[in-house]
Chains A and B, each alone.
Chain A
């Protein structure tokens, strides 16, 4: 349970709290820091999804999922060449 895994965090673009203005990355970071002091964003995404990827424990992922504006916290998948 303490082991960190990569998650892709989908956020609701239109639910950004007014305090963040239009600074979505700041909102992403603030949401992340509220569940994990040590977690860092791997990527932020604005076009393909609205959100970011990060390393979290299962517990942190569950906590993040409950925050306002979070649509989904999905574990990373591994793909293979065909």
Chain B
């Protein structure tokens, strides 16, 4: 990626990461659409021998041989038996029956997480810079599980099985499957086994935001990653014949529009279809759009397909407007014709003008790449939101990372729009999604693993979470693009990842597979459900009291019981216990601070001071949440911070009625 290394502080002088020597021993496994091995991001110049622990392979198949791998891309496998059992043999005229990426998504995610440094990277001149993965010296192993017809859980499980035996250290999955309970969700089940074996599993949170309860991959042993913006934009303004201008974004490059204003028509008035405004294939009347700009509404079909539809109908260009579903979120696309995307407010104004004016005209002005956009980051509208629908007592997402307009490697089999009628081929593409933010965190986790080889997956996640930030330098809370208001822990989790701080978190909340086992007991899982997830033959201890709230998680989600028995003077009292492990200087003293954004939630912490005398020493504390009455559905947010004056170990708090 370009820009994100700077945005995340990885290029800072004095950052620990450039000196990290163990990075080349860390192996990141990516389950996705495969890989384009010829990408310059897989150049292995200067890389040493493949780690001795590596058991993986570079599988041969259509247009892919063992020679496709090298010391950077050390493994590539494909899993299609489940897919073929359901949909029949892969049509090799349409996709390669091999690890080769016919889609681009897998090459994008794998280069984002572990790509080598490539100077002069860009997409059609946009986002130019030196591109690199988050862990540029780590090794990459790709497991192709997604095909034209989707990603099937039997293949995903088989890939996770092999990734475990291949000896990956980090697993990155930019995919999801709704909200099945853990014992029905193959990714959750596979991730449990991987985590038990010391592999950190990072997954995308999903793109179903800004709706509440829209998260995927919410099990507590998975690191769940939402998406935020960068300080980079690709402005393309709409100038109307009435003299008004509106900002939009675009990655269009090609023949430009004439300097004069062109007639503009609303697609809904240039179609015989009731959904003509959406610019679906075959719905525009060529006589009504020929030589004109066409205003299309976002939704239903792909944004870039709308541009293709306008082009096919003879339109000169397109203005694509967000609707209420997307608000002001501007996702840039490499359209096939001059086109720009505007937010809902601008779109409503433009639509009003186009419909009401007798001879409406407009122009699109492309401004290229702009850096330093503020505020940034902002939580992407599409980023899925909490609460956690499976276990509301576990706050998700865990963290956000860059996931909007991300440049990374691309497949040579497909153009930047992914459309069949896009003949262009590019080495890098710019796309958006929590699919893009997840591999950022996977790569950063690999850096932490290299710097702290003895840390567990939970310790690495804790370091990433407790050192993340929730406010800009001016003190304002990170905005939510969906609302324009401050985001909450249900939007950003613990906050935006800050890898430079994460390398030295001071304290971590550690967890083992046994803790997750106890967590499942607290969920009252049946013996069979326990066995499905954990494969253990042991059962929950009938004499033991299990509590979800006591899982040693780096965040707090308190669900106020409607029939609370712990009432005291009209208030409900909930206690959570946590244990911190000292990973900083041997001798240190931490003091606690608590913050609540509403007086209805009071927090007291006992003890309020933790004194450590040696590295890896553990100390426990209990938080008592005293919660006043609020309407059902209300949420109050806060945080608990431990600080020794140098480190700040911050946990978000969400209380829900």
A interface residue numbers (CB < 8 A to B): 5-6, 8, 10, 12-14, 42-43, 45-50, 53, 55, 71-72, 74, 76-82
Chain A residues contacting B197 (CB-CB under 8 Å) are 47
Cβ contact within 8 Å between B535 and A50: yes
Q: Which of B5-13, B180-188, B359-367, B558-566 contacts A (4 or more CB under 8 A)?
A: B180-188
With A47-B165, A77-B185, A81-B435 known as contacts, the answer to whether A8 contacts B157 (CB < 8 A) is yes
Q: Contacting A82 at CB < 8 Å: which of B190, B207, B537? A: B207
Tell me whether B153 is interfacial, beta carbon within 8 Å: yes
Chain A residues contacting B154 (CB-CB under 8 Å) are 6, 8, 42-43, 53, 76
Cβ contact within 8 Å between B82 and A82: no
With A8-B157, A79-B151 known as contacts, the answer to whether A53 contacts B193 (CB < 8 A) is no
Chain A residues contacting B433 (CB-CB under 8 Å) are 81-82
Task: Give CA–CA (A81, B418) in the complex, Å.
Answer: 14
Give B203-237 as 1s and 0s: 1 = Cβ < 8 Å from A's Cβ atoms.
01111000000001000000000000000000000
The smallest beta-carbon distance between A77 and chain B, in angstroms, is 5
With A81-B435, A82-B175, A82-B207 known as contacts, the answer to whether A43 contacts B82 (CB < 8 A) is yes
Residue in A8, A49, A76, A82 with the greatest tally of chain B CB atoms within 10 Å: A82
Chain A residues contacting B631 (CB-CB under 8 Å) are none
With A8-B186, A13-B537, A82-B206 known as contacts, the answer to whether A48 contacts B164 (CB < 8 A) is yes
Cβ contact within 8 Å between B176 and A72: no
List 8 contacting pairs A-B, 8 Å CB cutoff, sorted by A.
Answer: A43-B154, A45-B161, A47-B161, A49-B532, A77-B152, A77-B178, A77-B180, A78-B177
Cβ contact within 8 Å between A74 and B156: no
Cβ contact within 8 Å between B160 and A48: yes
The smallest beta-carbon distance between A71 and chain B, in angstroms, is 5
The smallest beta-carbon distance between A4 and chain B, in angstroms, is 9
Give B57-89 as 1s and 0s: 1 = Cβ < 8 Å from A's Cβ atoms.
000000000000000000000000110011000
With A53-B154, A79-B151 known as contacts, the answer to whether A10 contacts B532 (CB < 8 A) is yes
The smallest beta-carbon distance between A18 and chain B, in angstroms, is 16
Residue of B nearest to A15 (CB): B537
Chain B residues contacting A74 (CB-CB under 8 Å) are 183-184, 532
The smallest beta-carbon distance between B218 and chain A, in angstroms, is 14
The smallest beta-carbon distance between A15 and chain B, in angstroms, is 8
Cβ contact within 8 Å between B535 and A79: no
Task: Give CA–CA (A43, B205) in the complex, Å.
Answer: 28
Cβ contact within 8 Å between B176 and A76: no
Q: Contacting A79 at CB < 8 Å: which of B105, B150, B528? A: B150
Give B382-405 as 1s and 0s: 1 = Cβ < 8 Å from A's Cβ atoms.
000000000000000000000000
Q: Contacting A80 at CB < 8 Å: which of B85, B150, B158? A: B150
Tell me whether B531 is interfacial, beta carbon within 8 Å: yes
Chain B residues contacting A71 (CB-CB under 8 Å) are 528, 531-532
Give B164-176 as 1s and 0s: 1 = Cβ < 8 Å from A's Cβ atoms.
1100000000111
The smallest beta-carbon distance between B206 and chain A, in angstroms, is 6
Cβ contact within 8 Å between A43 and B81: yes
Cβ contact within 8 Å between A72 and B183: yes
Cβ contact within 8 Å between B153 and A79: yes
Cβ contact within 8 Å between A48 and B189: yes
Task: Give CA–CA (A42, B174) in the complex, Å.
Answer: 24
Residue of A nearest to B403 (CB): A82
Task: Give CA–CA (A40, B205) in the complex, Å.
Answer: 35
* 19 other A-B residue contacts (CB within 8 Å) besides A49-B190, A72-B532: A8-B153, A10-B531, A14-B537, A42-B82, A43-B81, A43-B82, A43-B154, A43-B161, A45-B161, A71-B532, A76-B154, A77-B178, A77-B180, A77-B184, A78-B153, A79-B150, A80-B151, A82-B204, A82-B438
Chain A residues contacting B435 (CB-CB under 8 Å) are 81-82
Chain B residues contacting A53 (CB-CB under 8 Å) are 82, 154, 157-158
Chain A residues contacting B279 (CB-CB under 8 Å) are none
Chain B residues contacting A47 (CB-CB under 8 Å) are 161, 164-165, 193, 197
Tell me whether B194 is interfacial, beta carbon within 8 Å: yes
Q: Contacting B189 at CB < 8 Å: which of A5, A12, A49, A76? A: A49
Cβ contact within 8 Å between A12 and B537: yes
Tell me whether B467 is interfacial, beta carbon within 8 Å: no
Chain B residues contacting A76 (CB-CB under 8 Å) are 82, 86, 152-154
The smallest beta-carbon distance between A62 and chain B, in angstroms, is 15
Cβ contact within 8 Å between A81 and B175: yes
Give B101-122 as 1s and 0s: 1 = Cβ < 8 Å from A's Cβ atoms.
0000100000000000000000
The smallest beta-carbon distance between B513 and chain A, in angstroms, is 14
Residue of A nearest to B383 (CB): A82
Cβ contact within 8 Å between B176 and A43: no
Chain A residues contacting B183 (CB-CB under 8 Å) are 72, 74
The smallest beta-carbon distance between B373 and chain A, in angstroms, is 24
Cβ contact within 8 Å between B194 and A48: yes
Task: Give CA–CA (A43, B599) in the complex, Å.
Answer: 55
Chain A residues contacting B206 (CB-CB under 8 Å) are 82
Task: Give CA–CA (A29, B501) in the complex, Å.
Answer: 52
The smallest beta-carbon distance between A14 and chain B, in angstroms, is 4
Cβ contact within 8 Å between A49 and B177: no
The smallest beta-carbon distance between B196 and chain A, in angstroms, is 10
The smallest beta-carbon distance between B609 and chain A, in angstroms, is 42
Chain A residues contacting B157 (CB-CB under 8 Å) are 8, 43, 45, 48-49, 53
Task: Give CA–CA (A78, B187) in the complex, Å.
Answer: 11
Tell me whether B33 is interfacial, beta carbon within 8 Å: yes
Chain A residues contacting B164 (CB-CB under 8 Å) are 47-48
Task: Give CA–CA (A77, B155) in the complex, Å.
Answer: 10
Chain B residues contacting A46 (CB-CB under 8 Å) are 161
B residues 488-534 near A (Cβ < 8 Å) are: 528-529, 531-532
Tell me whether B41 is interfacial, beta carbon within 8 Å: no
Task: Give CA–CA (A45, B160) in the complex, Å.
Answer: 10
Tell me whether B146 is interfacial, beta carbon within 8 Å: yes
Residue of A nearest to B382 (CB): A82
Chain B residues contacting A12 (CB-CB under 8 Å) are 531, 537
Chain B residues contacting A80 (CB-CB under 8 Å) are 150-151, 175-177
Chain A residues contacting B193 (CB-CB under 8 Å) are 47-49
Tell me whether B651 is interfacial, beta carbon within 8 Å: no
Tell me whether B32 is interfacial, beta carbon within 8 Å: yes
The smallest beta-carbon distance between A9 and chain B, in angstroms, is 10
Chain B residues contacting A13 (CB-CB under 8 Å) are 535, 537
Chain A residues contacting B32 (CB-CB under 8 Å) are 81
Tell me whether B434 is interfacial, beta carbon within 8 Å: yes
